[in-house]
Structure 1
Amino acid sequence: MTFVTKLRFQSGDRVALDDTVDGLRDLLERKGAECKGPHTEPSEHVRVPLSGNLAPGSTIADWSYEVFSRRLEIHGNDHIAREVGHMEFPDSVHVEIEVEHKRPLGYQN
């Protein structure tokens, strides 16, 4: 039975995001892990309404920013995936980790 560790990185800082993902990819390759990605997702434009003060109807221009995303998968190599789960990442990069349990074809409980 194999585990697939799926990592999703998001950040408003594209340079920090790319540095983090590329550094992790290089680390995984040096350790001999089977890695797929990074896969780039379309950026998302986010708009946040702002108000000038607490009075109703008092608004100012919206704050807008762009969020960039990358995906990476580690196949097998559970000990390396566990190391990645305990790594420190920059505060500007949000990391989501999902572990999926893959069973061989024809496997029955």
Structure 2
Amino acid sequence: MPFVTKLRFQSGDRDALDDTVDSLREMLERKGAECKGPHTEPSERVRVPLYDRLAPGAELGSWGYEVFARRLEIHGNDHIAREVGHMEFPDSVHVEIEVDQKRAVGYRA
């Protein structure tokens, strides 16, 4: 049964995110993996409160930044997906990996 490896990349640095995803996509294509994406998700605006002390107190304001996300899927090619799971990515890029096993229509366990 084939596996689908779903990768989700997030970063506040759009250039680092795009470079990471583009280089991964090129590597997957060179190795002959069936790859779908990258798909761009809407960016998310995050606000973080700032305080002048560690103890509870008055808030100084907030700091805001934008988080960008991309999704990529690898179909089949389990050995290549395993290799991607062991790769080093930049510290500024957060990577989530999910593996789904697809069953043929009418398959009974």
TM-score tier by shorter-chain length is over 0.9
RMSD: 1.1
Give the C-alpha shift of residue 57 in structure 1.
Answer: 4.0
Using structure 1 for the length normalisation, give the TM-score. Answer: 0.96
Q: Matched residues in 2 for 1:4 and 1:83: separation?
A: 14
Structure 1 equivalent of residue 64 of structure 2: 64
> What does 1:2-21 align with in structure 2 at a 5 Å threshold?
2-21=2-21
State the number of aligned residues. 109
> What does 1:24-103 align with in structure 2 at a 5 Å threshold?
24-54=24-54, 56-103=56-103
Using structure 2 for the length normalisation, give the TM-score. Answer: 0.96
Q: Which structure 1 residue ranges, 5 or more long, are not aligned?
A: none
Residue identity opposite 1:83 in structure 2: E
Would you identify which runs of 4 or more consecutive aligned residues in structure 1 move more than 6 Å? none
Distance 1:102 1:62, change over 3 A: same
Residue identity opposite 2:19 in structure 1: D
Percent identity over the alignment is 80
Q: Matched residues in 1 for 2:103 and 2:56: separation?
A: 57
